[in-house]
Chain A
Amino acid sequence: MIKLTDYMKAIQGENNTPALDLGVIELDGAYVCDMLSDVMGSAKPKQAWITIMKHLNVIAVASMTGIPVIVLSKGNVPDAAVIDKATEEGIALISSPLPSFELAGILYSQLKA
């Protein structure tokens, strides 16, 4: 397990949901996918969800699946309505300039270290 805040430092992660306490979130893996049903079928709680999708349904999918944090790759930043919904549901929304491949690779090496 690693702390989300340690992962964020390694990926130049920007927190879009400052109202949430990110210090309590720990990760034991990630799921990388842009198809929402596949995420619901296979992602697990304690995993970060790495995606480029940033519309409102993404928050619902994370909430239903029990995912604590969504990491938006390639500098994607969500709309205010999406950020509000994420805050309401207690799901952290992080933006990183890195592509999904690197985001997964960095988390993988941090977990194996």
Chain B
Amino acid sequence: MSLHAGTKLEKVLAAGQFALTTEVGPPRGPDVEEVLKKAEILKGVADAYNVTDNQTAVVRMSSIAGSKILLDAGLEPVAQMTCRDRNRIAMQSDLLGAAALGLKNILAISGDHQGAGASGKLKGHPGAKGVYDVDSIQLINIIKNMRDEGVQAGGDTLTSKPQFFIGAAWTPLGPPIEFRVLRLAKKVAAGADFIQTQAVYDIKAFAEQMAKAVDMGLTEKTAILPGIIIPRSAGMLNYMNKNVPGVVVPQELIDRMKAASDPQAEGVKVTLELIEQVRELPGVKGVHLQAIEAEELLPEIINQAGLSPRPEV
């Protein structure tokens, strides 16, 4: 089987191994040390590490720069790219720059709207002009055409073809629920090689959506990695259930976390169970594990889940 970019993530998936990705949020400053500190904790934990692109419209070190720092530190990045802040010209230029720096895993997403608001004490940039020149599906296709045809969106040729392993996001449980698998199919048709999903807690509902994806043959064409955000308290689950669109948390899970004497330990247990459950679903090829501001939990979880050490490919 010929590989698109030969990244570690692509090779792990091609070898039929259960893949593991996680996330590294870049700092709100030019702080290389901050990135390296996270890299130190997370090295060897996952096959690849998503580097977010100014999530919630709060300015952070660019995804591409953060990704390059990780790469140099021996961690394979997945550079996220949103459609919010750049038009098709800037995106393609940044993609060529990313390729030149050796960054080959790209996650193409529409991105949080600048008005969706930063949380907590952060303000974000609600007065910014969102770009949204193209949407995530169009971006996926642009990347694919650069890679496979060596052509720009405007029709001009590239002097050589950049290699990319193209990722996309999927919200399997958002309304209109009947369209979510069809939208996934559009992403696959546009060129998505792998999919990371919005956090999944309702395994039964997710299994139904996965079954449809399998029926449509999508799991033959793309590698789906369900997202799991490590729950740390009942409050956190409640918040996500109420405020994060597409995240559905069963009440019994919230109750279980509420009843736990040590919520963090319980959260780790829940995470292990979730990994186990999604792993059994046909078509699931890995997991995208997020430990928002609690990265230190990851090595232990991955050990206990029997996912350590990561395969050498």
Instruction: Tell whether A pairs with B.
Output: no
Chain B residues within 8 Å of A, Cβ to Cβ: none
Chain A residues within 8 Å of B, Cβ to Cβ: none
